[in-house]
Amino acid sequence: MRFTLGIEEKLKSKKVIQQLFAEGNRVKSFPLQLIYLKKEHYSEFPIKVGFTVPKRAVKLAVNRNRIKRMMREVYRKNKQLFSENINEKYIFMLIYMTNEETKYDDLELSVKKVCDKFLIKIKEDEQN
């Protein structure tokens, strides 16, 4: 697996993002929240992902952009945790939920926890 985050893996469509927020399921691990939805898409990658930092949580655009860059980097390095254990195609949105900046290591730990919770939840959903 290549450790890249190409354009095919990024979630860009406004309609799909609106559908994700309307119908998606949520998993939280402070300071991140993962919204996911099983949805067929035309990418060869099993996951399309978007990243957001709410303006109400982090006021300055410089800080929001820095946090989004860190989130993309953490996801890029750890995306095999998500993609190796799923069989379906999903769309994701990772949301940063706090107004305090976190360190890279804390963010990486949070992404791993969110991944574990996500995998547990989809296994429960498959059994039901």
Side chain identity, residue 7: I
**Of all residues in the chain, what percent are helix, strand and coil, respectively (each to 5)?**
45, 20, 35
**Average pLDDT value for residue range 42-61:** 91
- Enclosing H/E stretch for 20: helix 14-23
| Count of domains for the chain | 1
Q: Give the per-residue pLDDT at 56.
A: 93
Write the CATH number for 118. 3.30.230.10
Single pTM value for the model: 0.88
1 inside domain: no
**What's the pLDDT tens digit per position in 29-41?**
889 999 999 988 8
Q: Give the per-residue pLDDT at 48.
A: 92
**What's the pLDDT tens digit per position in 82-108?**
888 888 899 999 999 998 888 999 999
Q: Give the per-residue pLDDT at 83.
A: 82
Structural domain for 47, as ranges? 7-127
2 inside domain: no
Position 1 pLDDT exceeds 80: no
Confidence bin at 5 (pLDDT 50/70/90): confident
